[in-house]
Structure 1
């Protein structure tokens, strides 16, 4: 069979087409019937069995892809694909699909731009927060050092105070012992000499 450009195309059975597109054989037949109701003609052998060309496989692949989009029915997908494979290929349906694709692309680009802007702002905030955290960590380290120095000085002061207190207590105890010895001496002498 001759294709759109006059070249000879290979013919495939419904099973071969189903295998290439990774769909059921019945799905290939269903696609073909709907295409035929829309006026499309497939190659048929002497027994009336359909045979499909590479172009037909490409059409079916487009239909399968179009059906994956939300809100697109099989019939709508086929009606959108048929004009692409007729000699008068530009029709309002193709233009609508093309316009829809452009709108989808514009919306996608807008959303992508918004996401990129939000990501840049988030990175800026993260950087600012990181600087604040570093500053707070530095202040905390300085505070810890101040507290450690204060504690060290306080401990030294307590030790000095305890040492002075011990020396005072030792001096008081020595004075009391000396006074007691003196009193004991006087008491002994007084008893000895009768005073």
Structure 2
């Protein structure tokens, strides 16, 4: 995009942007190059030097916040380009991307973006809690199933022990009968 005289009162250089975002100039350059490669456009002077409007500051601040939350760099870049690319069809972006937009509209858009980011964070936290609850339920069900199986195994073992004891008793009775039968035969053989 080419600069006009009207744009100059709203523009910041790399050093000012780095100070505003509390990041290094090289980091600003890295982020802006990545955003440009993904399709984001900056205002440039006749020498090709980037200048940053209020809208660009908001977009870069959102990028810094996403990265601070642990979002993957490539995903964060794509997200910022999708949400903040100048001349996109979003009504809020059109308001803040125009060079003549008021400072209050930019602040309102920044607040809306912050709320959206906050909601995304809350949804992520809730998703984590849901996963924890599901994991706990699965653990409980596995423990209950294991306890049930253990109970069934113990019942079978008790039945086997009971059957062994009955078999031993019956064998003992049978052995004593055989022994008595043998004694009777000897006794009857005497007569």
TM-score normalised by L of structure 1: 0.46
Q: TM-score, normalised by structure 2?
A: 0.47
User: If you compute each CA radius of gyration, which structure gives the higher value, 1 or 2?
Assistant: 1
Relative contact order, higher structure (CA 8 A, sep 6+): 2
